[in-house]
Structure 1
């Protein structure tokens, strides 16, 4: 779907299968991959990416750190800090982190990026809350910048895709009332 300067698409499956220019990888502020998505991305990218993350200083909550994507099909991994080791992600932290990651895309002239449905693991955020934060961040990016031109929301199941689409419809209904 088109919105502002960009296009928002969905992909049900694993983020590492995509060939967008960049993939967003959720991490802690100490650059430890977040369970599930983040750890699988780093593992599949290869040991040199894991070493680069381990050797780097902490980045702080809401910040981003870019590495090459190693053996993945994408060119870049944008590691964005959504939580600390001691606390689960919150809506505001995910929002700040994703805004920062999408800003990195603009500055690096990245045209396409895959964004995972992050912070939806048990004990983290309810799916609809995470969807609201992620979709609003994507829409803000499309309103403010021409890059990235395309964001692919990567969801693990049709249920999560429906929740994200519900949030999109709700936001658009309120915006155009």
Structure 2
């Protein structure tokens, strides 16, 4: 059984097997969690991402998918990059958001990762309402068949932490 834990803080400071990055499809870094992971993890992550772009992911990583790289200087073995959907009030993209969590856990299982730290995927610049993002994330992790022993949601601020705490209860 997978234990779900919540932490308010910086995902780049977590000591886990795998840190999940809310990446953009280019895999070449960006703002928010993505930029922080690339900055703190150092150039090794970007080098791995460039190799992925030169190979199988020449057009970028599709929304809802996940792929792993080294964790560079982070206190983790791997970074699992997943591309969340941009929120739309007129189109239901919740299946794509759920896919980010399922696919990240699938990749974690392939790697043998037992502890996985997730941010609130799509709830930053991609505009997903925090309460709904938390509902989808927690439900998907609870329903996932995974070998992960701990899934840690690392939330940047009190609002995000509270939204996830309401779902975990």
Equivalent in the alignment of 1:175? none
Q: Is the 8 A contact 1:15 1:116 kept in 2?
A: yes
Compute the displacement of 1:162 (Å). Answer: 1.4
Compute the displacement of 1:35 (Å). Answer: 2.6
Compute the displacement of 1:122 (Å). Answer: 4.9
Q: Confirm or deny that 1:30 pairs with 2:26.
A: yes
Equivalent in the alignment of 1:92? 95
Equivalent in the alignment of 1:168? 168
> How many Å separate the matches in 1 of 2:127 and 2:102?
19
RMSD: 1.7
Equivalent in the alignment of 1:174? none
Secondary structure at the residue paired with 2:84? strand
Equivalent in the alignment of 2:127? 124
Return the TM-score normalized by structure 2: 0.85
**What CA deviation, in whole Å up to 9, does each residue of 1:30-78 have, x standing for no partner?**
3244530111101211112113213422232211111110001111000
Which of 73, 76, 81 does residue 74 from structure 1 map onto?
A: 76
Q: Confirm or deny that 1:50 pairs with 2:52.
A: no
Structure 1: give runs of 5+ residues left out of the alignment.
170-177
- CA 120–61 in structure 1, closer or farther in 2 if over 3 Å, else same: closer
Q: How many residues align?
A: 158
- CA 71–165 in structure 1, closer or farther in 2 if over 3 Å, else same: same
Structure 2: give runs of 5+ residues left out of the alignment.
88-92
Return the TM-score normalized by structure 1: 0.82
> How many Å separate the matches in 2 of 1:16 and 1:75?
12
Q: Is the 8 A contact 2:48 2:70 kept in 1?
A: no
Which of 91, 96, 104 does residue 101 from structure 1 map onto?
A: 104
Compute the displacement of 1:130 (Å). Answer: 0.6
Q: Is the 8 A contact 1:30 1:60 kept in 2?
A: no
> How many Å separate the matches in 2 of 1:122 and 1:59?
18
